[in-house]
Amino acid sequence: MPSRDTERIAVVGGGPGGLYAAALLKRLRPGREITVWERNAPEDTFGFGVVLSDETLGGIEHADPVVYAALSDAFVRWDTIDVVHRGTTQTSGGHGFAALERRTLLRILHERCASLGVRLRFRTEAPPTAELAAGHDLVVAADGVHSATREAHARHFRPTVTHHRNRYIWLAADFAFDSFRFEIAETRHGVMQLHAYPFARPSPGDPGASTVIVEMRDEVWRAAGLDTCGTAESAERCAEVFAKALGGRPLRSNKSSWLTFATVTNQHWSHGRTVLLGDAAHTAHFSIGSGTKLAVEDALALAACLEEQPGLSAALAAYEAERRPVVLSTQRAAAASLRWFEELPQYAHQPPRRFAFNLLTRSRRVTHDNLRLRDPGFTAAVEEEFGCPPGTPPMFTPLRLRGLELRNRIVVSPMDMYSADADGVPGDFHLVHLGARALGGAGLVMTEMVCVSPEGRITPGCTGLWTDEQADAWTRITRFVHDTAPGAAIGVQLGHSGRKGSTRRMWEGIDEPLEDGNWPVVAASPLPYAHGVSQVPQALDRGGMDAVRDRFTEAARRAARCGFDLLELHCAHGYLLSGFLSPLTNRRTDAYGGSVENRLRFPLEVFDAVRAAWPRERPMTVRISATDWSHGGTSDEDALAVARAFAAHGADAIDVSTGQVVPEERPEYGRSYQTPYADRIRNVLGVPVIAVGAISSWDDVNSLLLAGRADLCALARPHLHDPHWTLHAAAAQGYTGPGAPWPLPYRAGSRPPPTGRTDAPKPRLTLD
């Protein structure tokens, strides 16, 4: 039964979200008394054009056909995106946009509210929230990114406002672009970018109009002297930079100023009778055109929940439960897009088509597969430039590292199995585990971290390579892979647990000390992993470092004799070598601590010794943690310095992971959440990288590769779920080439079996 305790409603803020909420709530129950307070005049607005998606428009059409009809008459629609970079224009079609002037949108909503009997109080500051709540059944706070309502009750809403590094300004051009246009200007001050789209269609005597946003990094803004320019001069300077795109025409402003984008989140969206809506509750970067869209969708959901739920409290809880996951997903996509534009200079070297593909897929909402459906010609050209053989998806394009040619770009990521016998010998489990994934089509199958000494184990169930017995067992596995899955490569990851050693198996209590039989642990500094839980490690002295280095060297020689195709040095996740690299775990005051150059010294000594022992023709990679996800930890510049140093010493690729260095980390989990760190290393340094971290679909793999963000993609959990993940990815894409050959005994399974009867008669008649 719908709520009946919302008869008097106050709406703070007369933007699209607040106005549309008022109109919907009044339309659903005409007897309501609804008042909108807006401090500006009706004709006042900031910005120019508004973009709405077909999905949002569908919701509007269903909820209020009158508003939908008025919007449809005003919309400008287009489906192409132009990306202009270094004198070339790449055009991609099939995208579908609808935009209109913000003033037109507001006028439509003003008229709709007035026709329904909503009270609109312009040029009037809303009374304090507490006063409104005392006199109304519901207060809808739609008062924007600088919400006074949110700040007045900050201890209840618990907001976080994060300001970002780029500067941008909203401007307009008095003509209509014929597409959504991104243009890059490489000036003597640095890279500037233009985002432009039409919002008013041309007509006889009227050239139409377009929104133009100019954006750049703060240091570029200052170097160009724009920090001292007023609005008019800023518009003139921006028009000069993008004169060719504008055809020499001017730009105009509307109370415009240079801004830094603020991402708003709130732990709670309601407090008592007050609820946040739109930018007051959340923001998402303008580069995915989401602000008005989210506010309108909030209004739709709020109105629906008030009708569906029996009371106000239940309705507001249902509203937040419905909208929060959608908003968080949008904010993750927007954050990826925002970061892409912040880091745009690192992509300036890319060929024009790759650059355009990279830009189009930056938020991960547009991917290789749906871009191929939208514009197959553009996508095919990008694939050809990448080097895909005809009919070959990017992930099945081979890659050479030294003398090793990988048949495809899929890596089975190292995964600790904790299933060795007490002497660190891999057994039948490892044969089946690694052999199955090699048969499953991956180009490279990696072992778990293979420990170089008994005291270098994480748990008693970890494998090793410090004895000939262990080497014999590994030889059995590499021989099986090479003989039974021809073309598959197998790599070994060598590591030492450091302060994270002498613990129970994961399922017995991750990172918890053994109940008995503990062995002493060593580290860069005498800091326990978990204070009060883990044992305090002994800081390695020069003799201890020499002994560890020699253990790595001996293990590398054994690995070569075992027949491994590739060796990876584990310098990530808080294990011994990682512990030297991170400033959170290395507090040494000697030549091995302090600056990043000093912290690198011992890991590089180990790398050099291993590289000298490892056959020259076989590649060697290094896994690093590019961030510790903790304040004071490894910085972006540290990660670049670490990757640069290993590459200079002969690493053939950097395997870029993150975190697991300190227990108090706060990762920003999400789809492909670690790949931006690999992307940065690859595009700043030009070093081949392996990307890891919640990459779960073949579509994401293809997108990352074509965009130039990774050379190889390592997947862990998908290969636990499906050992034949790579073969199934090939089948899903209709690929049958040499990059993913089905083993002969399995070939009959290359097509999925039917799942049930499919020949049932179809209904001839549908009755209403």
Residues labelled as active-site residues? 575
368/371 Cα distance (integer angstroms) = 5
Amino acid at 760: A
18/13 Cα distance (integer angstroms) = 6
Token couple for 620: 């060697």
250/212 Cα distance (integer angstroms) = 11
Find tokens 């690859």 and name the residue. Answer: 682
Amino acid at 209: A
Q: Helix, strand or coil for residue 227?
A: helix
Token couple for 562: 């075992």
Find tokens 């939908």 and name the residue. Answer: 68
Token couple for 564: 């491994």
The answer to whether 750 and 408 have CB atoms below 8 angstroms apart is no
713/110 Cα distance (integer angstroms) = 51
The answer to whether 277 and 298 have CB atoms below 8 angstroms apart is yes
740/744 Cα distance (integer angstroms) = 12
Strand 159-173 versus strand 209-217 pairing type: antiparallel
Torsion over CA: 310, 313, 315, 321 (sign) = negative
User: Residue 679's closest CA among 460, 272, 364, 353?
Assistant: 364
Q: How many CB atoms lie within 10 A of CB 204?
A: 4
**% helix / strand / coil in the chain, to the nearest 5?**
40, 20, 40
Q: How many CB atoms lie within 10 A of CB 518?
A: 12
Amino acid at 660: Q
625/589 Cα distance (integer angstroms) = 22
270/352 Cα distance (integer angstroms) = 47
537/672 Cα distance (integer angstroms) = 34
User: Residue 3's closest CA among 34, 33, 28?
Assistant: 28
Q: How many CB atoms lie within 10 A of CB 528?
A: 17
Order of strands, sheet of 138-141, starting from the edge strand that comes earlier in the sequence: 119-122, 33-38, 8-12, 138-141, 274-276, 270-271
Strand 8-12 versus strand 138-141 pairing type: parallel
The answer to whether 379 and 361 have CB atoms below 8 angstroms apart is no
Torsion over CA: 559, 560, 562, 563 (sign) = positive
